[in-house]
Structure 1
């Protein structure tokens, strides 16, 4: 396959919105080999390892741990890299590896490494990350897991046991919804686990209050602004800056810059963010133009497709009257966002190979058997995925209705009991 066929920078906006980034077309085996090598390089000489989600919340946790261990990297080289990118964006167009899929910036093998190593992971790669850290990190490290929740403890049981055996300590800080059985299993494995209230704290909050260190006020502010976006409070404009910046750049850059400046990002970073937002808004508009409103049970569900910023698209759908929003991505996954009138996003996602929070969840239906299925997905704007997720909404609606009827019956029985006693 010719490189230009998967080069997003060469696509029109419409096609870019409908197709996944070029990383999608790399075989998993290559990605796994590359990821394993990167983890080995990062952790083999480290004193501390943090396995974290690579959004602003997870990376905020990493910045806190580095601050506690006095292990932040020098910010100057990252600022120089941002300045070079700004110059390219202003003078021409983004380079081939700079599209909306994230992680602009250099991954130079000679780049400095912190003795607090960062290992990025997601819910579906957590087992691999734990296994690699256990294999390549030195004996006696301090290990942290941040902003991640295992969907099923069995998936990580062996890997977590291996890490606990290797490390001097393992601490886990999160704010997602955990079931009691999984929490107990992680603690029984020898892990210090702290889980905050998912609708009140972000993981940066949890990490900040859990680490045995006196942090100054700028870290309190970082946690508050991160929470503003992660919990979709949306009262502080700076939270969008943090979220976008974390999504668009190499995790090491975000951790270093935020560690140095907190929420008051330097002017060159603000300039970079503003340049990138031009295309971001165009992709949001394209997704909103494809949206449909569906009535499912008591809810209006806005459904759309596209490579875009799902939170902003979800907000646009809510402004059009949606109680819940579904944004299907070209890579096959989907984001589900709720509202005050819909707090069942995690239940819907749980029906289709996913999970999350009551108002924010994600999933990837297990419906893609070969590339023809993906070709159909791209050319129909995710028709099959939309149908599968809407069916999950219908099942959740039935469950909610059944629970409401059962509650009414219980209330009636209680009233009848009172009447009988009289």
Structure 2
């Protein structure tokens, strides 16, 4: 394939909005080989390993653990690279290494991390997603030093089966395994994880983010900036949007490498240095344009008592959801070119996790994600791109209808109505 066909820099904004990032087009086998190599390099010789979601919340927890274990990387080399990016009008000095579980904006595996070869902490970081957690733990177990500690942060397994074998392998080799999270756990899954010797702490998903959970779970006297980092991360992760710094953290985590983000927030907390905020503002120019495209495409439909806004595009789902809510949506669905979808709720709709669970996903009452299992070959994806996610939209709206029916039946039962007639 001609590289120019998947090169974002050569695409118009309209086409970029409709197509996934170039990482989507790399085969899983290449990703697996690369993940194996990077895990081995990070884990071998490490005194501890953190397996974490690579968003602001998961990486905030990583910063806390490294601080508590005196394993933070020096921030100066990252600041030098960051300043160079801003000075060059935002041009990348290395690959865009945003981590996206569906390859929406993933970097070229051949380039990712070139600038970080010199950055090694005795507490290794392995990025993972809920869908890849079992594989990530398996790779960690293979290379883990005997009696090294393992942490898992901001990740909730889809089922016991997806992590059982790999978690047992990790637990049998590790000195200790601690798991910090705030998602809504199935009681049987939580019990099964604890039965394998894991110290699992799950916070209230309506009150805490994983950075909060980690802060209160580690026996360490943290400097004040870490408490503030947890509070601002919570503001974004729980979709409170009361502190403007939380959007900066979320965007910076997405547009920087995990190691850079962890080093910078570990040193500065929630108040990012000027070079980081300038870089974020530069990247937001295109981000806002992609958000506008998605908002313009949105359609609204009534499902039961709820107005659902549905759209398509490569974009920031939170900003799109905010705009759709302002236009009257109780819930929003943002279908991505890679085939996944983000669901966002409101005060009048707190069932996103229920909808997502019906279409191969999960999450929180007001924020969830899913990827319907409807893509059998590239023709299905071609149809997805050319119809702007028509099939995916239909499947997800059908899930909304099932949730509405269940909610209606529940209300009827509470009122003593015979729903069998």
- TM class, shorter-chain normalised? over 0.9
**CA shift for structure 1 position 219:** 0.7
Aligned counterparts of 1:262 and 1:106: Cα–Cα separation in 2? 25
Q: Is 1:285 matched with 2:285?
A: no
**CA shift for structure 1 position 110:** 2.7
Deviation per CA, 1:267-316, whole angstroms, max 9, x where unpaired? 11111011011111000001001000011011000000000000110111
**CA shift for structure 1 position 87:** 2.8
**Aligned 8 A contact 2:95 2:112 in 1:** no
Q: Is 1:220 matched with 2:227?
A: yes
Deviation per CA, 1:110-133, whole angstroms, max 9, x where unpaired? 322100000000000000111011
**CA shift for structure 1 position 82:** 1.1
Deviation per CA, 1:207-242, whole angstroms, max 9, x where unpaired? 000011111211110000000000000110000000
Matched residue SS, 2:177: strand
Summarize the Cα distance change of 1:388–1:410 in structure 2 as closer, same or farther, 3 Å threshold. Answer: closer
Summarize the Cα distance change of 1:107–1:97 in structure 2 as closer, same or farther, 3 Å threshold. Answer: closer
Summarize the Cα distance change of 1:96–1:205 in structure 2 as closer, same or farther, 3 Å threshold. Answer: closer
Which position in structure 2 is the counterpart of 1:175?
182
Which position in structure 1 is the counterpart of 2:113?
107
Which position in structure 1 is the counterpart of 2:83?
83
**Aligned 8 A contact 2:148 2:176 in 1:** yes
Deviation per CA, 1:186-218, whole angstroms, max 9, x where unpaired? 111100000000000000000000011111211
Matched residue SS, 2:89: helix
Aligned counterparts of 1:356 and 1:269: Cα–Cα separation in 2? 29
1:233 to 236, 240, 257: 240
**CA shift for structure 1 position 151:** 1.1
User: TM-score, structure 1 length as denominator?
Assistant: 0.94
**Aligned 8 A contact 1:103 1:249 in 2:** no
Within-5 A mapping of 1:59-208: 59-89=59-89, 97-98=95-96, 101=105, 107-108=113-114, 110-208=117-215
**Aligned 8 A contact 1:101 1:248 in 2:** no
Which position in structure 2 is the counterpart of 1:22?
22
**Aligned 8 A contact 1:103 1:247 in 2:** no
CA RMSD, 1 decimal: 1.7
**CA shift for structure 1 position 39:** 0.5
List alignment gaps of at least 5 residues for structure 2.
99-103
Matched residue SS, 1:89: coil
**Aligned 8 A contact 2:79 2:275 in 1:** yes
Q: Looking at CA atoms only, which structure, 1 or 2, has the larger radius of gyration?
A: 1
**CA shift for structure 1 position 106:** 6.0
Q: Is 1:402 matched with 2:406?
A: no
Aligned counterparts of 2:67 and 2:21: Cα–Cα separation in 1? 34
**Aligned 8 A contact 2:23 2:106 in 1:** no
2:390 to 363, 378, 383: 383
Summarize the Cα distance change of 1:134–1:176 in structure 2 as closer, same or farther, 3 Å threshold. Answer: same
**Aligned 8 A contact 1:145 1:171 in 2:** yes
2:344 to 334, 337, 340: 337
Matched residue SS, 1:317: helix
Which position in structure 2 is the counterpart of 1:417?
none
Aligned counterparts of 2:184 and 2:36: Cα–Cα separation in 1? 29
Aligned counterparts of 2:283 and 2:164: Cα–Cα separation in 1? 41
**CA shift for structure 1 position 97:** 4.2
Which position in structure 1 is the counterpart of 2:101?
none
Aligned counterparts of 2:169 and 2:270: Cα–Cα separation in 1? 37
Matched residue SS, 2:369: strand
**Aligned 8 A contact 2:86 2:279 in 1:** yes
Summarize the Cα distance change of 1:2–1:220 in structure 2 as closer, same or farther, 3 Å threshold. Answer: same
State the aligned residue count: 409
**Aligned 8 A contact 1:146 1:174 in 2:** yes
Matched residue SS, 2:88: helix
Matched residue SS, 1:161: helix
Matched residue SS, 1:154: coil
**Aligned 8 A contact 2:351 2:366 in 1:** yes
**CA shift for structure 1 position 81:** 1.2
User: TM-score, structure 2 length as denominator?
Assistant: 0.95
Aligned counterparts of 1:173 and 1:363: Cα–Cα separation in 2? 22
Which position in structure 1 is the counterpart of 2:45?
45
**CA shift for structure 1 position 102:** 6.0
